[in-house]
Amino acid sequence: MNPLQNIFITGGAGYVGAQLVPHLLEKGLQVTVLDLMIYGAEVLPQHKNLTVVKGDIRDQELLRKTLPGYDAVIHLACISNDPSFELNPNLGRSINLEAFRPLVESSRDAGIQRFVYASSSSVYGVKEEPNVHEEMVLEPLTDYSRFKADCEKILAEYQSADFTTVTIRPATVCGYSPRQRLDVVVNILTNLAYHKREITVFGGSQLRPNIHIADMVQAYVALLEAPTEKIAGQLFNAGYENQSVTELAETVRSVIGQDVRLTVTPTNDNRSYHISSEKIRQELGFVARHSIREAAEDLVKAFERGLLPDSLTNERYFNIKRMQNLQLK
């Protein structure tokens, strides 16, 4: 039996959290979510083993009150993606960077045994090498990615025999979630192909690593269940395949229908990202099993069932639009 039974998740009502939380509850774990709930609390299930705390990770008094008694923290909360971050750089800095050390210290002081940090594969920047692995130099291109890299370094300072720290660098997540995002590449393409029967690809040859949301959930489970000696102080990439944007668009079109028009437009932004997920396979036995095609198929099912109304216009699916209207401080 996994000794980590009480799990505290920051940002647990976000895109990944809304799939991760129900999965952990199904496994019989006690889960508490700390989240600002800016996309609504209804994304999480009602469950006797789930506690939801509406609050801000920058509230250190709240952290001191709520963290004691938990076995592990999964830190998902952040201002997510570059446009949302750049909308208010000071807010991004305060949540994504300045709140991090106090959260880690509060977790350690509360007796948390394991701290799992959700970084990003964007910390590598653009690499020419075919296998971008965890030992490579980080060259983040934006403040969002830079602060992710900074937090990785901060977390490494706190690794100890009593406080296990581990960082995961996910590829871009895709697929359906109760807290849906339609502003990430595969989901954008699927939404436009389904509703407009048209996709425009800018450039097309750029590589984009993706991972199905069900696999992302399993990656966090793997980090919770792994023996301490296998993950203590470690970094792991997590992705499925490194496909070009054109290949992603063709996959989506094959799901939606060949009547979908695919237009390729030149772009000045030919940044290409790719990662190797070999280390997490070798060390933890984790392999992403769900394809990009499945992610698109899951979204189509959600559209057909009416689970994602007004998917082209509703701000709740687009982080930048929601952030613009909320004016968080």
**Which pLDDT does position 131 carry in this prediction?**
87
Q: Check residue 322 and give its pLDDT.
A: 86
Enumerate the β-bridge partners of residue 155. Answer: none
Question: Would the pLDDT of 257 be above 80?
Answer: yes
* Residues pairing with 7 in the sheet: 31, 72
Q: Where are the alpha helices (DSSP H) in the chain?
A: 17-26, 60-66, 82-87, 89-93, 100-109, 143-156, 185-196, 213-225, 228-231, 245-256, 278-284, 292-304, 319-326
The reported pLDDT for the residue numbered 323 is 83
Residue 56: pLDDT band by 50, 70, 90 thresholds?
very high
Mean pLDDT of the chain: 95
212 φ, ψ to 5°?
Answer: -65, 140
Instruction: Give the pLDDT mean for 229-255.
Output: 96
- 271 contacts: CB under 8 Å, gap ≥ 6: 126, 141, 206
How high is the pLDDT of residue 273?
87
Domains of the chain are: 6-326 (3.40.50.720)
- Taking residues 76-86, report their average pLDDT: 85
What would the pLDDT profile of 271-313 be if each residue is shown by its tens digit?
A: 788 999 999 999 999 999 999 999 999 999 999 999 999 999 9
Position 297 scores a pLDDT of: 98
pLDDT at residue 111 greater than cutoff 80: yes
In the prediction, which pLDDT does 128 show? 87
pLDDT band at residue 1 under the 50/70/90 scheme: low
Q: Which of 86-90, 117-121, 194-198 has the lowest mean pLDDT?
A: 86-90
pLDDT digits (tens, 9 = 90+) for 316-329: 999 888 888 877 77
Q: What is the mean pLDDT of residues 164-190?
A: 97
Decide the pairing of beta strands 172-174 and 164-170.
unpaired
Over residues 213-226, mean pLDDT = 98
Q: What is the mean pLDDT of residues 246-267?
A: 96
Whole-number pLDDT of residue 82: 74
pLDDT for residue 241: 84
Q: What is the pLDDT of residue 326?
A: 79
Of 39, 33, 109, 112, give the one whose Cα is nearest residue 70: 112
CA distance 301 to 280: 31
> What is the average per-residue pLDDT within 219-240?
97
Average pLDDT over residues 163-188: 97
Do 108 and 142 touch, CB atoms closer than 8 A? Answer: no
Report the percentage of the chain scoring pLDDT > 70.
100
- pLDDT at res. 60: 97
* Confidence band of 249 (pLDDT split at 50, 70, 90): very high
pTM of the entire structure?
A: 0.97
Interval 61-79 mean pLDDT: 97
> What phi and psi, each to the nearest 5 degrees, are found at residue 141?
-100, -15
Q: Is the pLDDT of residue 9 over 90?
A: yes
> Does residue 270 register a pLDDT over 80?
no
